[in-house]
Each structure stands twice: as C-alpha cells, then as structure tokens.
Structure 1
Amino acid sequence: MENDYDTFAEAYAAENETSLVNAYYTKPAILDLAGDVTGRRILDAGCGAGPLFEALRDRGAIVTGVDSSAKMLELARKRLGDDAELRIADISKPLPFPDGAFDDVIAALVLHYLEDWTAPLAEIRRVLKPGGRLIMAVNHPIIYKLIDPEADYFKTVKWSDEYTFAGQKAVLTYWHRPLHAMTDAFTAAGFRTAVVSEPPPAPGARERFPEELAGKTAFLSFLFFVLDAD
C-alpha cells in the first residue's frame, strides 16, 4: 500500500516536531497565510498528528481534523485531547460534513499524493462557505525536475523517494504536475487563486540549521497557495 502512514506514523510525527521543512517551514508558512483565525471554522484536511490543528486552535479557531491514517489520528488524539473533533476521512471521497460547513480548509502536503485533483477539490469547495479559503501546500513542481533532469516537466507523473524519519526508513510516492495543471484544476473547481507563495524559513531556522541554509535566503521545497471559493 502506497503512503501507508500507519506503518511509520510515530517516527514521522516525531521528526516533524523539529524538522526544517515541517516545523520551520510548512507550519509557520501556513499559519502566516491563514492570518487571524479567531472564531473561524477550519477543517484541517490531512491533519496527521495534529501540529497545525493545535496551533490554529491556540489562535482561537474552531478546528476539525480529518486524516485517512488511524494511527495518525490516534497520535493527534493524544496531543489534542478527547474533546478534539477528529475523524477518519479521505479527501478523495465524500467528506462527512454538510455544504458550507467551514470558513477555511487547510490541506498541507496532501494533494501531491493524488493523481486526480478533480474530486478532492470539488469536495473541499462543497464544504467551504461562499467566500471561504483553501490554504494549501504541495511539492514545488520544480522538485521533480531537479531530482530527474531528464524528466518531462509538463507531464503529470508518479514518482517516489525514500526518507528517514527519526531513524525509520519510509518511501513516499507522489504525483508531479506542472504549475499550470494545478491552477487549471483550481479554476475548474470554482476557486480563484489569491496567493502563490515561496516563503523563506521561519525565524530561528538559520541558527538551528546553519549548514542546510548557508548562503540561502529561501529554498525550494513546497509551493503554497491561498484560494478563494467564488
């Protein structure tokens, strides 16, 4: 089974607490894009062990989390408490929420696992209220080309890479798609692209990761979007 997070959930969650690309890049970038979330109803789609859920809740949001991994949700429950609204759900299938249930949907590092974005974007659009926002991050489309210089950037294609999370090896499989394919999918689903961001790492990253960030003002890893639901 591809991307079976149940098999390495604890190692992945532990690694992300302090890693450059998660703790000092993805999480702070999403929070910056979200801005003031006080009182906003937010769906954390692909919430994992709950770090973004926790941060959004601490900022006053009313957060619901979904993930397809039971083990990830178990870790999230331990982190967030028994009163946290957490459900098993797969964003490529119908979500267990009514139309217009949320002000914002966060989808951080989720859609790049899927070949077809049509159904998940339509479902996210359905559960957003008119004028709501989808705030998301996916693999930067240039990454696949950097890994395989002979690859055709303009094709939507599956690729895999091996990682070590807290000492445990895992293989993650993604779908590369060019930028225009992403924005075309957003438009077709009824979203307007408000922000495209390639952010710098968060304050403190340079002191913690001096070798990785030496001579860099930013680095290529993920691409961030804020999409408005028309």
Structure 2
Amino acid sequence: MNREYTKINSKTVDEWVKDGWEWGRPIDHSTFSRAQLGQWDVLLTPTRPVPHEWFCDLKGAELLGLASGGGQQMPIFTALGARCTVLDYSKAQLSNEEEVAKREGYTIKIVEADMTKPLPFPDAAFDLIFHPVSNCYVEKVEPIWRECWRILKPGGILLAGFSADIVYAFDDSETRLQNRLPYNPLKDKKLYALAIQNHWGIQFSHSLEEQIDGQIKAGFRLTGLYQDTTASGPLHDYNIPVFYATRAVK
C-alpha cells in the first residue's frame, strides 16, 4: 500500500473542490463586507460556529490557517484585521485563497505544504492557529500538536476541530456497525482498496486520547471544548456528537 498517502489525499481534495465540495467554496463579497463591519462567524466543525470569545484580538494578530485553505475562514480573519498565513496541500484550495484575496484586494501568505512534515515556520511565529477538521486525513496527529506548540508564541491559541473515532465504525448509511477501530487503511488492504475505489481519500480514526491528551502532552492547556454533529444523516437526526472543537493555550 502507498505510504505516500498524503499525495493521494491532496489530489483527492483537488477533485472534490472541482466537483463543488462544500468546504471548497469561497465566501462571496457580501460575506467579506459584513465581516469588515463585525458581522461574522466561522466553523471548525460542520455546523456549530466558534464562540467569538475563543479568539484573541485579531487586529494585527499573526494567524495561521493550518490545513484551512478554501477561501472561507482566512478572508474573514483578514477582514477583521489579522495578518494571515494559510498552509494546505491542496492546490485547488490555495487557488481559492488567491482568488478571494485578489477579489477583495488584500495580501495573504500562501504555503503549499504537508502538515505531516515539520511546519515551515520559525519558533513562536503566530498568535493563533486555526485548524478545522482535517487531521482525519493524517495517520499520526501527535507530531502536529507538537509543531503547533513550537510555532505559537507564549500565550498563543490553538483552535482545532476534529472527528470522533466512532464515526469510522459505521457504514455509509450510518445505520450499521461495519469497521473495527482504529480505522487505518494503511494497515488493511481491503479498506485501502475501498478508499481508492470510492474516492474517499485515505482517512484515519483518532481517539480522544490522541486528539485531546495529545495536545496536553505537547504542552497546551485546554481552555474550551464543544461537540457538534454531522450536517445531515441518521447520526445528525439522533443528535449524536461526532465532532469536537477545542481551544488550547500555549
């Protein structure tokens, strides 16, 4: 099985964006203008907006959108006065960032890189990292938390969204248990073949120990947490939380 799975995932995301993926649709001009007037919300998880009090003062803040391309959150933060950098491995998602920046007349630092590798930034470079649901496409999350701690300034904030591992136990209908956990296609030829065949990308389940205790072990202090559901489907209908968002401080 291909150990260069992140290359498969970057190409898969590019294709999803081309096909109209909801997380690859840039915001429109009116949304940007409203943000300039202080009317805004952003998502770390599918449906529940991040509390505004979770953020630092964004005016003049150095902010990193980690795996956050797409032209959805970075334009909002720029409208609020932040100096934004976005890192993603999807060319299509970064193209969306360029498109919105050009349309609205602002500059943004755009970095095409793989977050499974050491992040290409110096120590203590950022006031805030915004990391929406994306580490489900990464086999090991603990190194990412350590890199986030390294590149944040003392007192810096990490806002992260991630999926619960239980969601990977279900089949596509979300009505039948199908897979044993942890879910890792790199260790199961059948899962890997299904992921390639169905154009899912190579995804991984992660326990709360990996996600939350991993942040704590990296040196963070957890200061906030909330749950969220999918936007539709049986798990949503029964209000079963399958996403989490955390606020952690260096």
TM over 0.5: yes
> What do you get for the CA RMSD once the two structures are aligned?
3.4
The sequence identity of aligned pairs, in percent, is 21
Contact 1:91 1:123 in 2 (8 A): no
User: Who is 1:115 aligned against?
Assistant: 139
* Aligned pairs for 1:158-169 within 5 A: 158=185
Does 2:184 correspond to 1:157?
yes
What aligned pairs does 1:144-223 form with structure 2 within 5 A after superposition?
A: 144-147=168-171, 149=177, 151-153=179-181, 155=182, 157-158=184-185, 170-199=199-228, 220-223=241-244
Residue 78 of structure 1, CA deviation: 0.7
Map of 2:17 onto structure 1: 9
| Residues 1:85 and 1:136: Cα distance change in structure 2 (over 3 Å) | same
Distance 1:177 1:223 in 2: 12
Question: Which residue identity lines up with residue 14 of structure 2 in the other structure?
Answer: D
Deviations 1:134-188 (A, max 9, x none): 10111123322344525445x36346898xxxxxx84233211221232221122
TM-score w.r.t. structure 2 length? 0.69
May I ask how many residue pairs the two structures share in their alignment?
211
Q: Give the CA deviation at 1:99.
A: 0.7
Unaligned regions of 5+ residues in structure 1, if any?
Answer: 163-168
Structure 2 segments unaligned to the other structure (5+ residues): 1-7, 28-41, 186-190
SS in 2 for 1:51: coil
Checking the alignment, whether the CA contact within 8 Å between 1:132 and 1:228 is kept in structure 2 is yes
CA distance in 2, matches of 1:103, 1:79: 23
Q: Contact between 2:46 and 2:229, CA under 8 Å: does it hold in 1?
A: no
Secondary structure in 1 matching 2:92: helix
Instruction: Summarize the Cα distance change of 1:140–1:71 in structure 2 as closer, same or farther, 3 Å threshold.
Output: same
Instruction: Report the equivalent of 1:29.
Output: 49
Post-superposition shift, 1:197?
0.7
Match of 1:173, SS state, is coil
Equivalent residue, structure 1, for 2:91: 70
Distance 1:17-1:31 versus aligned 2 partners, 3 A rule: farther
Equivalence for 2:33? none
**Offset of 1:129 from its aligned partner?**
0.5
> CA, structure 1 residues 171+150, in 2 after alignment: closer, same or farther (shift >3 Å)?
closer
Task: Report the CA distance shift for 1:90/1:36 in structure 2 as closer, same or farther (over 3 A).
Answer: same
User: Which secondary structure does the structure 1 equivalent of 2:140 belong to?
Assistant: coil
Letter in 2 for 1:76: E
Distance in 1, matches of 2:152 and 2:65, equals 12
Q: Is the 8 A contact 2:44 2:50 kept in 1?
A: no
2:208 maps to a residue whose letter is L
Q: In structure 2, which of residues 161, 170, 178 is the aligned counterpart of residue 137 of structure 1?
A: 161
Which residue identity does 2:89 align to in structure 1?
S
The TM-score with structure 1 as length reference comes to 0.75
Q: CA deviation at 1:114?
A: 0.8
Moved more, 141-150 or 44-53: 141-150
Conserved? CA contact 2:63–2:83, under 8 Å: yes
Following the alignment from structure 2 to structure 1, what is the Cα–Cα distance between the partners of residues 26 and 136?
21
